[in-house]
Amino acid sequence: MKVGILNIGTELLFGQVINSNAAFLSKELNNMGFDVMYHYIVGDNPDRMRIAINMLFNDCDIVITTGGLGPTQDDITKEIACEYMKDELIVSDDAMNELVGGYKKTGHKMPKNNLKQAYLPSRAVPFINDAGTAPGFALSNDDKYIICLPGPPREMTRMFKKSAKPYLEKFSNSVIYYKIIRTFGIGESSMEMTLLPLIDNQTDPTIATYAKEGECSLRITSKRKTLCEAKDAVDNMISEVNNLIGEYIYSFDNENFEKVVFDKLVENNISISSAESCTGGLFAKTITDFSGSSKIFDRGLVTYSNEAKVTELGVRLETLEKYGAVSEETAIEMAEGLFKASGSELCISVTGIAGPDGGTPEKPVGLVYIGCIYKGETKVIKIQMRNINRNWNRNYTLLNMMKVVYDCIN
């Protein structure tokens, strides 16, 4: 079935916001076997919204809109959808309860104009908004379907996955199945060279490689009549890929490295603490992003100044003076001090130069030492990154810390 996407919002036409909603929806809909024919973007203007909806329904069976569902006067998507589908807005009890309940919970008073959000088309299938106040919906007439979703990407993606996708699944007649394999420690070119025999002969499944922030992923995709056929084809290809680059693979399921590491820690009930300098809490923040992290994460000491390294971790002044804060010796003493303080089974430390300043010819920006104590064994790893920028350097250091933890417990 043919789908058109209509993104509504003057901020898009001002160029203040990049339209990530259209890309997200396109990807999801293509994966479900739909043909996305058009993206159309208009401002909060009723005449131009009418032009766009008419134009899209000329050629498409389904139109998905984002934006214009909020409480303010210029939010008119519902009105325009009703007009096209010959329906009218009525107060929805579900939407009203959601709205009032949300405000009750926070203790805030509901502004009057928010009541607008309790109105939905009378024949609509309502979609609850998990992350905001404006509900979405599906509405149809004469084999034409409109799906209206909110504009903020966080609200839109959640509502799509939870409500719109299940609603749309009944219309799809071919199935795309894919798996994304994630690797660390191999570059995109090397990966492509190694996999060339498989890539060159590809028709279905197809193999695509992506490089992203120091990691490398592989997407293996099959489009077949049934999910079962597509799944088999992808699984067979995965085992061939695994034979060639298995040592670099940490996930066959598009999980983040940090998620894989976190799950392993929890699964094996290994307590962990961190002592960070250059990453400034990024490791601790990343581990505690996961709910349930209190089961394994004890503490994270961000010892940014030399004084903090001495008083919090017992790093010796003479070590700092003789070898410097960015050194093998300091990384080890940080891990040792952390182990003494926390008693965690796995203690990881990091010290380095994230840049852009602070580098010297002997210790350039991008030099990092990672220390680690696990099961009575201390190790330290030196990494000299290609200095891309502070943000990249810190994130790539984080991945290397994850690699150290992963290697310890695997």
Site for a copy of itself in 15-34 (CB under 8 A): 15-20, 22-30
Q: How far apart are CA 114 and CA 133, in angstroms?
A: 8
- What contacts 97, CB < 8 A, 6 or more positions away? none
Q: Decide: helix, strand or coil at residue 162.
A: helix
The secondary structure of residue 86, as a DSSP letter, is: T
Cβ of residue 391: shortest distance to a copy of itself, in angstroms?
7
Cβ of residue 392: shortest distance to a copy of itself, in angstroms?
7
Cβ of residue 217: shortest distance to a copy of itself, in angstroms?
9
Q: Is 131 in the site for a copy of itself (CB under 8 A)?
A: yes
From the list 9-17, 80-88, 120-128, 242-250, the region that binds a copy of itself by CB under 8 A is 9-17
Q: Is 317 in the site for a copy of itself (CB under 8 A)?
A: no
From the list 36-44, 137-145, 159-167, 233-241, the region that binds a copy of itself by CB under 8 A is 36-44
Q: Tell me the DSSP string of 34-65.
A: -EEEEEEEE-S-HHHHHHHHHHHHHH-SEEEE
> Which of 128, 268, 292, 322 is the binder for a copy of itself (CB under 8 A)?
292
Q: Is 143 in the site for a copy of itself (CB under 8 A)?
A: no
Cα dihedral 55, 57, 59, 63 sign: positive
User: Tokens at residue 387, please?
Assistant: 């200095």
Nearer residue to a copy of itself within complex by CB, 17 or 125: 17
User: Tokens at residue 399, please?
Assistant: 């991945």
Nearer residue to a copy of itself within complex by CB, 256 or 387: 387
> Which of 220, 380, 385, 405 is the binder for a copy of itself (CB under 8 A)?
385
- What contacts 307, CB < 8 A, 6 or more positions away? none
Nearer residue to a copy of itself within complex by CB, 75 or 329: 75
Q: How far apart are CA 137 and CA 128, in angstroms?
A: 8
**CB-based contact 90:119 (threshold 8 Å):** yes
Q: Is 50 in the site for a copy of itself (CB under 8 A)?
A: no
> Which residues, 60 to 89, sit near a copy of itself by CB under 8 A?
70-72
Q: Tell me the DSSP string of 90-133.
A: EE-HHHHHHHHHHHHHHTPPPPGGGGGGGEEETT-EEE--SSSS
3-state secondary structure 362-395: CCCCCEEEEEEEECCEEEEEEEECCCCCHHHHHH
Nearer residue to a copy of itself within complex by CB, 37 or 238: 37
Q: Is 308 in the site for a copy of itself (CB under 8 A)?
A: yes
Nearer residue to a copy of itself within complex by CB, 126 or 366: 366
From the list 80-88, 136-144, 328-336, 381-389, the region that binds a copy of itself by CB under 8 A is 381-389
Q: Is 208 in the site for a copy of itself (CB under 8 A)?
A: yes
3-state secondary structure 218-257: EEEEEEECCHHHHHHHHHHHHHHHHHHHHHHEEECCCCCH
Nearer residue to a copy of itself within complex by CB, 55 or 125: 55
> Which residues, 152 to 181, sit near a copy of itself by CB under 8 A?
152, 154, 180
Tokens 């998990």 found at: 130
Q: Decide: helix, strand or coil at residue 137.
A: strand
Tokens 């940080």 found at: 334
Cβ of residue 93: shortest distance to a copy of itself, in angstroms?
21
Closest CA to 133 of 148, 145, 146, 115: 115
Nearer residue to a copy of itself within complex by CB, 20 or 236: 20
Distance of CA 75 to the CA centre of its chain: 29
Nearer residue to a copy of itself within complex by CB, 6 or 404: 6
Nearer residue to a copy of itself within complex by CB, 238 or 388: 388
> Which of 79, 192, 235, 255 is the binder for a copy of itself (CB under 8 A)?
192
Q: Is 36 in the site for a copy of itself (CB under 8 A)?
A: yes
Size, binding site for a copy of itself by CB under 8 A = 111
> Which residues, 235 to 274, sit near a copy of itself by CB under 8 A?
274
> Which residues, 324 to 343, sit near a copy of itself by CB under 8 A?
341-342
**CB-based contact 231:202 (threshold 8 Å):** no
Q: Is 51 in the site for a copy of itself (CB under 8 A)?
A: yes
Q: How far apart are CA 349 and CA 309, in angstroms?
A: 11
> Which of 8, 52, 245, 408 is the binder for a copy of itself (CB under 8 A)?
52
Q: In what order do the strands lie in the sheet with 346-352?
A: 272-276, 346-352, 367-374, 377-384
